[in-house]
């Protein structure tokens, strides 16, 4: 390394000659990154070589598959609110990230993925492990960029971190050719990026709309608030709670808004959508003003749009102008970060309560409790174990303090419906993409993101087998993740649809599984299987109390269904209780 | 009802942006009828001109998503009456045919064609105009042995636009004034919106 001096802005900054790889590591440290999930390979070896000297400052978690790496980074980001960082090599290493990128894109998770690429002079020659990563990842990234010269690395990474985290967050890919990693260049320190002229992370808040929204809301007789992940992404949980408390609004959550408001909050009326609660779905079609906060009216939430809240005036608070009117027409669009817009709106609210309107929710709750919930949580002695009772014990034993990471399927819906939360950023699941195999690696990442909290992964027998090789990470790192496999010997969610809509033609949904406890054991992870109700609570308690990682397989009923359900193609008012 | 819209996007000059933008159309199975990239009136700012046939609602939503892309500064969409637009077409015809047949020369003149290259074996004519005009001449020339035909993408000037210089200055301010963030709902009658 040779030190020279350059002049910047009147003062001298020492520059040094360092390699592109070294710049990558220094940039990560300057961005405050402490954990990276990754997998090495030829085209990214120089970066790994540089990393070798920084192991104390930068903890690298060696995953077992790049998909596991990116899901881990997602779990990390979702619980910590920080940006997840992933390393992968060129070609297959990079393509293995694609599922996770798509998942992070639709669920707005901030990630910076650094992929190695072949030497710049080989680009386009079908070189070994050359894949056109930029074009493959374009539709599933918020931004991507290929670096071919070491001098571009620092500015590209600065942009990457800025874009990933600001505004509506999302994943970015920085593809760095091997020559750029090796090349030595002048480095005068890392300059974070705070501004790009072509990029407006947040639209400017328009006070006109705040006023208009407040007038509409103040005049409402049956106001109803829907909240989504935007509340969490905007760190606006406090502002949100103030808002609903002042107006006395019943508030229901989307799958990704879950945990933004404590489950036991008196105004929390439950879950929206296909497998959501009865009241919130039915009463969507009876409210007079619908106030959507940081949610994007996903079709799993709205069901048929022409039967969705036609009677209501809609106020939509969203940071992303392209979400306004995308699915549901807004009468008053409140563009902006809800961290800023909510307090402005709250200030104009008349303090109110809506006891009769809230009572309507209670009545529907009672109906749902008698027809669905009670049997799910307290099944008759002769019934096989239900997923609901597993969640009931988990709630009791963790007191709602755990982070729950779910996979995709019936168990995901049951866990979301019944898990209780006291803290925000406690529910991690793959919402928009519904990526099976998400839970295990995401839970591992979540544990790195929140090392002091209990992290419970809940997966089905199907999804668990999609990424179960990540048990190797737990073995190597000793990550204290608690894993619950709710095994119904079926690809349950698909089987449920086959039962309800396809005359029980169970086409390729019965799935055989290995002995999961033995698999865990092979990785040095303690575990147990439970199939008896009398042992269930103890088994969960043992899982939670055993220090370190633990795998508990629960044999639940084979053909239990998740209800309520808004069948596809129906309106929310047509929700079925059985 | 589907109609023709011309989308004008002011962007940074960035490798890969074309893919990002065109993928947004193909994802929705929207056929791009014509696409042109060029410099714009503002230094270092690129201008995409994209023509599609769609309903206004689809275009509006699409345009908002295009504008959201990191390297896109601003996007406008306009119907044909709101713009002045042109396309350039080139026609290659055998020179002997034109020389022999007076009629052909007259037809070419009627269509405003201008000879760009004249060789012994062939002549290349150029016509600038609207789609129908350039299309018409193809029909006309076909019986006379049209050898090659090519037409450029549409380029368009927005009648109501004051250009991008002022906007760019606003974009370059770290804290943009409210004007940069013109809100669709404040001027609903304008076919122009931005964030
Ligand atoms: C098997 C399965 C079943 C499902 N069933 C259901 C169901 O029954 N009910 C359900 O709700 N979901 C269900 N989902 C999930 C569903 O597909 C969506 O992922 C989910 O509804 C999206 O929630 P969201 O809109 O809150 O979050 P996101 O998709 O993350 O959207 C967040 C919104 O907030 C905005 N935003 C971000 N930051 C801010 C900010 N700072 N200020 C303001 N706005 C901001 C964003 O622009 C975006 O519009 C299911 C998924 C699966 C896989
Ligand atoms: C990668 C992927 N492939 C296929 C699907 C479709 N799918 C959704 S739920 C489901 C069944 C999940 O079964 P299991 O993991 O056993 O969980 P269960 O529904 O039984 O709780 C399937 C196959 C998906 N969501 N993701």
- What's the average model confidence in pLDDT over B112-141? 93
Q: Cβ of A144 under 8 Å from any chain B Cβ?
A: yes
C-beta of residue B42 within 8 angstroms of C-beta of residue B28: no
CA distance A332 to B15: 38
Residues 6+ apart with CB under 8 A from B136: B111
For residue A462 and ligand 2, the question of a CB distance below 6 A is answered with yes
Contact at CB, A200 and B19, closer than 8 angstroms: no
Ligand showing the shortest atom-to-Cα distance for residue A240: 1
Contact at CB, A200 and B174, closer than 8 angstroms: no
pLDDT of A35: 98
C-beta of residue A469 within 8 angstroms of C-beta of residue A64: yes
pLDDT of B91 above 80: yes
Yes or no: is domain B84-151 CATH 3.30.70.1150? yes
pLDDT of B184: 40
- What's the average model confidence in pLDDT over B28-36? 95
Residue ranges in A348-470 assigned as alpha helix (H): 355-368, 374-377, 387-398, 410-418, 439-449, 461-467
C-beta of residue B49 within 8 angstroms of C-beta of residue B19: no
Q: Cβ of B65 under 8 Å from any chain A Cβ?
A: yes
C-beta of residue B78 within 8 angstroms of C-beta of residue B60: no
C-beta of residue B90 within 8 angstroms of C-beta of residue B126: yes
In this prediction, what percent of chain B has a pLDDT beyond 70?
Answer: 89
| For ligand 1, atom 26: residue with the closest CA | A228
Q: How many CB atoms lie within 10 A of CB A290?
A: 25
Domains and CATH numbers, chain A: 2-187 (3.40.50.970), 207-360 (3.40.50.1220), 385-559 (3.40.50.970)
C-beta of residue A490 within 8 angstroms of C-beta of residue A510: yes
pLDDT of B92: 96
CA distances for B129 relative to A379, A447, B80, B90, B134, angstroms? 76, 64, 13, 11, 6
CA distance B150 to B88: 8
Interface subset of B 32-61, CB within 8 angstroms of A = 60-61
Whether a cis peptide bond, with omega within 30° of 0, leads into A55 is: no
Q: Cβ of A87 under 8 Å from any chain B Cβ?
A: no
Provide the residue ranges of all domains of chain B, joining segments of one domain with +: 3-78+167-187, 84-151
- Which residues sit opposite A145 in a β-bridge? A174
Structure confidence by residue, pLDDT tens digits, B37-63: 999 999 999 999 999 999 999 999 999
Contacts of A146 in chain B (CB under 8 A): 15-16
pLDDT of B101: 79
* Residue of B13, B70, B75 to mutate, interface with A, max A Cβ within 10 Å: B70
The CA A432 to ligand 1 mean position distance, Å, reads 7
* Residue of A149, A200, A202, A315 to mutate, interface with B, max B Cβ within 10 Å: A200
For residue A460 and ligand 2, the question of a CB distance below 6 A is answered with yes
Q: What φ, ψ does residue A319 adopt, rounded to 5°?
A: -80, -20
Contacts of B12 in chain A (CB under 8 A): 198
Per-residue pLDDT tens digits of chain A, which is 578 residues long: 444 444 444 556 788 999 999 999 999 999 999 999 999 999 999 999 999 999 999 999 999 999 999 999 999 999 999 999 999 999 999 999 999 999 999 999 999 999 999 999 999 999 999 999 999 999 999 999 999 999 999 999 999 999 999 999 999 999 999 999 999 999 999 999 999 999 999 888 888 999 999 999 999 999 999 999 999 999 999 999 999 999 999 999 999 999 999 999 999 999 999 999 999 999 999 999 999 999 999 999 999 999 999 999 999 999 999 999 999 999 999 999 999 999 999 999 999 999 999 999 999 999 999 999 999 999 999 999 999 999 999 999 999 999 999 999 999 999 999 999 999 999 999 999 999 999 999 999 999 999 999 999 999 999 999 999 999 999 999 999 999 999 999 999 999 999 999 999 999 999 999 999 999 999 999 999 999 999 999 999 999 999 999 999 999 999 999 999 999 999 999 999 99
CA distance A496 to A576: 14
Q: Indicate if B84-151 has the same CATH topology as B3-78+167-187.
A: yes
The CA A429 to ligand 2 mean position distance, Å, reads 13
pLDDT of A14: 84
CA distance A408 to A431: 8
| For ligand 1, atom 7: residue with the closest CA | A273
pLDDT of B189: 31
Q: Cβ of A325 under 8 Å from any chain B Cβ?
A: yes
What are A154's two structure tokens?
A: 């620092």
Contact at CB, B174 and A195, closer than 8 angstroms: yes
Count chain A–chain B contacts defined by CB atoms under 8 A: 71
The CA A559 to ligand 1 mean position distance, Å, reads 28
The angle formed by the CA atoms of residues A526, A527 and A529, to the nearest 5 degrees, is 165
Q: Cβ of A9 under 8 Å from any chain B Cβ?
A: no
Q: How confident is the model at residue B175 (pLDDT cuts 50, 70, 90)?
A: low
pLDDT of B187: 37
The CA B50 to ligand 1 mean position distance, Å, reads 32
pLDDT of A12: 61
For residue A417 and ligand 1, the question of a CB distance below 6 A is answered with no
Residue A153 burial (10 A CB sphere; 0-12, 13-18, 19+): buried
Q: Cβ of A92 under 8 Å from any chain B Cβ?
A: no
What's the number of CA atoms in the CB half-sphere (13 Å) around residue A66?
23
DSSP string for residues in A516-565? HHHHHHHTT-EEEEE--HHHHHHHHHHHHHSSS-EEEEEE--TT----SB
Name the CATH architecture for the domain at B3-78+167-187.
Answer: 2-Layer Sandwich (3.30)
pLDDT of B194 above 80: no
What are A488's two structure tokens?
A: 């119904």
Counting from 1 in the atom list of ligand 1, the atom nearest the Cα of A108 is: 30
Q: Which residues of A are the active-site residues? A: 66, 128-129, 178, 493
């Amino acid at each position: 390394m040779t030190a020279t001096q350059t002049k910047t802005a009147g003062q001298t900054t020492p520059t040094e000659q360092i390699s592109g790889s070294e710049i990558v590591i220094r940039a990560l440290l300057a961005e405050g990154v402490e954990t990276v999930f990754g997998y090495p390979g030829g085209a990214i070896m120089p970066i790994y070589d540089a990393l070798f000297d920084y192991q104390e400052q930068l903890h690298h978690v060696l995953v077992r598959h790049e998909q596991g790496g990116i899901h881990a980074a997602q779990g990390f980001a979702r619980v910590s609110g920080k940006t997840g960082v992933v390393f992968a090599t060129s070609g297959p290493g990079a393509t293995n990230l694609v599922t996770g990128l798509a998942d992070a894109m639709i669920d707005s998770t901030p990630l910076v993925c650094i992929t190695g690429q072949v030497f710049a002079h080989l680009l386009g020659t079908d070189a070994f492990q050359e894949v056109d990563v930029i074009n493959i990842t374009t539709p599933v990234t918020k931004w991507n960029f290929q670096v071919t010269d070491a001098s571009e690395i620092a500015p590209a990474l600065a942009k990457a971190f800025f874009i990933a985290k600001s505004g509506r967050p999302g994943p970015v890919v920085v593809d760095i050719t091997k020559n750029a990693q090796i090349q030595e260049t002048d480095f005068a320190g890392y300059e974070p990026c705070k501004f790009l002229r072509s990029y407006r992370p947040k639209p400017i808040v328009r006070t006109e709309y705040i006023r208009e929204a407040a007038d509409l809301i103040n005049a409402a007789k049956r106001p109803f608030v829907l909240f989504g992940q935007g509340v969490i992404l905007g760190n606006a949980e406090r502002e949100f709670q103030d808002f609903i408390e002042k107006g006395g609004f019943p508030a229901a959550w989307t799958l990704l808004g879950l945990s933004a408001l404590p489950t036991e909050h008196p105004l929390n009326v439950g879950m929206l959508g296909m497998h959501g609660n009865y009241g919130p779905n039915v009463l969507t079609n009876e409210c007079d003003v619908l106030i959507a906060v940081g949610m994007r009216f996903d079709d799993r939430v709205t069901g048929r749009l022409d039967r969705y809240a036609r009677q209501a005036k809609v106020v939509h608070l969203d940071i992303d102008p392209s979400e306004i009117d995308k699915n549901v027409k807004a009468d008053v669009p409140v563009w902006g970060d809800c961290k800023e817009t909510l307090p402005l709106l709250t200030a104009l609210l008349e303090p109110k309560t809506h006891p009769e309107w809230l009572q309507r929710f209670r009545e529907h709750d009672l109906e749902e409790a008698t027809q669905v919930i009670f049997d799910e949580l307290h099944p008759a002695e002769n019934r096989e174990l239900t997923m609901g009772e597993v969640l009931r014990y988990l709630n009791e034993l963790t007191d709602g303090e755990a982070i729950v990471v779910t996979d995709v399927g019936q168990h995901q819906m049951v866990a979301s419906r019944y898990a209780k939360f006291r803290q925000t950023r406690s529910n991690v699941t793959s919402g928009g993409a519904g990526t099976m195999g998400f839970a295990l690696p995401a839970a591992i990442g979540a544990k790195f993101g929140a090392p002091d909290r209990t992290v419970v992964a809940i997966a089905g027998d199907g999804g668990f087998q999609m990424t179960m090789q990540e048990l190797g990470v737990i073995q190597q790192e000793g990550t204290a993740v608690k894993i619950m496999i709710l095994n119904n010997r079926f690809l349950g969610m698909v089987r449920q649809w086959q039962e309800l809509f396809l005359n029980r033609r169970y086409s390729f949904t019965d799935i055989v599984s290995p002995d999961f406890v033995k698999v865990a054991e092979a990785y040095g992870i303690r575990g147990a299987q439970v199939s008896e109700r009398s042992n269930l609570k103890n088994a969960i308690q043992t899982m939670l109390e055993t220090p370190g990682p633990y795998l508990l397989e629960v044999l639940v009923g084979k053909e239990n269904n998740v209800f309520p359900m808004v069948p596809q193609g129906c309106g929310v008012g047509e929700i079925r209780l059985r | 009802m589907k109609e023709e819209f011309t989308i004008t996007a002011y962007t940074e000059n960035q490798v890969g942006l074309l893919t990002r933008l065109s993928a947004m159309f193909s994802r929705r199975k929207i056929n791009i009828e014509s696409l042109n990239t060029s410099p714009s009136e503002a230094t270092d700012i690129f201008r995409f001109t994209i023509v599609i046939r769609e309903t206004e609602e689809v275009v509006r939503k699409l345009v908002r998503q295009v504008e959201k892309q990191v390297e896109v500064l601003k996007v406008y969409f306009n119907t044909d009456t709101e713009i002045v637009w042109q396309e350039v077409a080139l026609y290659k015809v055998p020179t002997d045919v034109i020389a022999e047949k007076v009629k052909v020369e007259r037809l070419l003149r009627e269509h405003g064609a201008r000879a760009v290259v004249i060789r012994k074996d062939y002549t290349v004519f150029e016509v600038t105009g609207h789609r129908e005009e350039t299309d018409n001449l193809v029909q006309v020339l076909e019986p006379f042995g049209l050898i090659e035909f090519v037409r450029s993408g549409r380029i368009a000037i927005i009648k109501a636009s004051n250009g991008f210089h002022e906007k760019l200055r606003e974009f370059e301010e770290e804290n943009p004034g409210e004007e940069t963030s013109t809100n669709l709902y404040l001027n609903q009658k304008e076919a122009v919106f931005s964030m």
